[in-house]
């Protein structure tokens, strides 16, 4: 019976303890790279936390665009924390083993937060489309209730995607090598250890990749095609610059986040190697979350103005 087979498979696999390979060795160059990763992770946590607090504290930033941006920063805080602290602990203290349940939990939260961010970035493109192409209807189409519903839908979609993929990945028997050639439990790396035919599931993984990655990309592309057409019809040069400034920040974040994910989850397994996967994963788990608040703060006058206001208040407080 299928249920009994699944129980036997689960009981066998759940006793497994996996070993995660480290990104770095003891060489000076790798020690330097490890230090850089720690610094970037710290900056990512500080930058995204500051962005959330800044948007919450400044009344001028209580708009749909900044509400969605605060959600993006909130997601990035947890998204990068799912994998990096474990990697740091593994390098410093040798804690490289991870239980079957711990591996499943790490995989679930990684996919949950990642898929939620994919959907959220598409919603941010919709917000810019409404603001530029339908400014008179913007308060109605992007009301507070609508924003809350859109964000809840992104979290629900991410949770559904992660639940399906985690359940399907963990149902395979893992009775061979226990060494995961990666610094965290990611689906493609774990499937290499399955002692069963995973070809059918890899097709399912491709389909979910289309839904979670390519559908939002198509939505974002369409939104920005309509935005570009609207911008070209603008008579005000200042209006064009402002529209392009806010859109360019979002487009930069989209390219940084979606590009590596498409490589990881859409390309066939024959195009992957453990070394390449490690580098690509570091890009979207550490570097992109650090760059997101930097991109939005440098390219956005309202954010930089709010930061200067807060810094000014802190300076006045110290002098007093």
Cα(50)–Cα(133) distance, integer angstroms: 31
Decide if 57 contacts 314 (C-beta within 8 A): no
User: What is the CATH T-level fold of the domain 19-310, as seen in this structure?
Assistant: Rhopdopsin 7-helix transmembrane proteins (1.20.1070)
Decide if 125 contacts 176 (C-beta within 8 A): no
Decide if 171 contacts 6 (C-beta within 8 A): yes
- pLDDT over 90 for what percent of the chain? 29
Structure tokens given for 288: 């992109």
In Å, how far from its chain's centre is CA 47?
A: 15
Gyration radius of the chain's alpha carbons: 22
The more confidently predicted of residues 56 and 303 is 56
Give the dihedral of Cα atoms 57, 59, 62, 63; nearest 10 deg.
-150
Decide if 120 contacts 71 (C-beta within 8 A): yes
Give the dihedral of Cα atoms 237, 238, 240, 241; nearest 10 deg.
120
From first CA to last CA, the distance across the chain in angstroms is 75
Q: Is the pLDDT confidence value at 271 over 80?
A: no
Cα(73)–Cα(280) distance, integer angstroms: 21
| Owner of token pair 């550490």 | 286
**CA neighbor of 161 nearest in space, from 112, 198, 204:** 112
Decide if 152 contacts 163 (C-beta within 8 A): no
Domain positions in the chain: 19-310
Global pTM? 0.85
Cα(247)–Cα(131) distance, integer angstroms: 11
Q: Is the pLDDT confidence value at 314 over 80?
A: no
pLDDT tens digit string along 79-110?
999 999 998 888 888 888 888 889 999 999 99
Cα(184)–Cα(84) distance, integer angstroms: 8
pLDDT tens digit string along 114-171?
999 999 999 999 998 998 889 899 999 999 999 999 999 999 999 999 998 898 888 8
- Long-range (24+ apart) CB contacts under 8 A made by 136-141 are 138/64
pLDDT at site 298: 63
pLDDT, average across residues 53-82: 90
Task: Show Cβ contacts of residue 301 under 8 Å, excluding neighbours closer than 6 positions.
Answer: 245
Decide if 210 contacts 267 (C-beta within 8 A): no
């Amino acid at each position: 019976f299928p249920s009994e087979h699944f129980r036997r498979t689960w009981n066998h696999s759940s006793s497994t303890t996996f070993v995660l390979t480290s990104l770095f060795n003891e060489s000076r160059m790798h020690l330097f790279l490890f230090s850089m990763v720690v610094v970037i992770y710290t900056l990512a946590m500080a930058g995204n936390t500051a962005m959330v607090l800044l948007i919450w504290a400044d009344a001028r930033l209580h708009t749909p665009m900044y509400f969605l941006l605060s959600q993006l920063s909130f997601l990035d805080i947890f998204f990068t924390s799912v994998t990096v602290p474990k990697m740091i602990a593994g390098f410093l203290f040798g804690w490289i083993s991870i239980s079957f349940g711990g591996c499943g939990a790490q995989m679930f939260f990684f996919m949950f937060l990642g898929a939620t961010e994919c959907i959220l970035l598409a919603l941010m493109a919709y917000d810019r489309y409404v603001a530029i192409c339908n400014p008179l209807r913007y308060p109605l189409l992007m009301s507070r209730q609508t924003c809350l519903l859109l964000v809840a839908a992104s979290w629900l979609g991410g949770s559904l995607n992660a639940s399906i993929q985690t359940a399907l990945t963990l149902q395979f028997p893992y009775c061979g090598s226990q060494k995961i050639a990666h610094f965290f439990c990611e689906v493609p790396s774990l499937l290499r250890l399955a002692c069963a035919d995973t070809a059918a599931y890899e097709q399912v993984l491709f389909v979910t990749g289309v839904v979670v990655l390519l559908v939002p990309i198509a939505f974002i592309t369409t939104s920005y095609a309509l935005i570009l057409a609207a911008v070209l019809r603008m008579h005000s040069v200042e209006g064009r610059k402002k529209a392009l400034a806010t859109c360019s920040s979002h487009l930069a974040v989209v390219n940084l986040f979606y590009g590596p994910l498409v490589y990881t989850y859409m390309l066939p397994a024959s195009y992957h190697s453990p070394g390449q996967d490690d580098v690509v994963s570091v890009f979207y788990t550490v570097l992109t979350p650090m760059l997101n608040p930097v991109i939005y703060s440098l390219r956005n006058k309202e954010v930089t103005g709010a930061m200067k206001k807060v810094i000014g208040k802190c300076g006045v407080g110290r002098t007093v």
